[in-house]
A and B are shown apart, each in its own frame.
Chain A
Amino acid sequence: AQKITQTQPGMFVQEKEAVTLDCTYDTSDPSYGLFWYKQPSSGEMIFLIYQGSYDQQNATEGRYSLNFQKARKSANLVISASQLGDSAMYFCAMREDTYSGAGSYQLTFGKGTKLSVIP
Chain B
Amino acid sequence: GAVVSQHPSWVICKSGTSVKIECRSLDFQATTMFWYRQFPKQSLMLMATSNEGSKATYEQGVEKDKFLINHASLTLSTLTVTSAHPEDSSFYICSARDRPTYEQYFGPGTRLTVT
Contact = CB atoms under 8 A, between A and B. Distances in A.
Contacts of B44: 45, 91, 109
Contact of A103 (B57, B105, B106): B57
Q: Which of A42, A95, A105 has the most CB of B within 10 A?
A: A105
Interface in A42-59: 42-45, 47
Q: Which of B43, B91, B97 has the most CB of A within 10 A?
A: B43
A91 B109 CA distance: 16
B70 to A, nearest CB: 17
Contact of A109 (B43, B49, B97, B108): B43
Give the size category of A's interface with B.
Answer: 10 to 19
Interface in B23-72: 32, 34, 38, 41-44, 46, 49, 57
Contacts, number: 45
Contacts of B46: 106-107
- The secondary-structure label for the interface of chain A is loop
A6 B83 CA distance: 35
A1 interface: no
Given A43-B91, A106-B34, A91 B108 contact: no
A50 to B, nearest CB: 9
Interface residues of B, number: 21
- The secondary-structure label for the interface of chain B is strand
A103 B49 contact: yes
Contacts of A112: 42-43
A112 B45 CA distance: 12
B64 to A, nearest CB: 14
8 contacts: A37-B106, A43-B109, A44-B108, A47-B105, A95-B102, A107-B104, A111-B43, A112-B43
Given A45-B95, A103-B57, A110-B43, 18 more contacts: A37-B106, A43-B91, A43-B111, A44-B106, A44-B109, A45-B109, A47-B106, A91-B43, A95-B104, A105-B32, A106-B46, A106-B49, A107-B46, A109-B43, A109-B44, A111-B42, A111-B43, A112-B43
Interface of B: 32, 34, 38, 41-44, 46, 49, 57, 91, 93, 95, 97, 102, 104-106, 108-109, 111
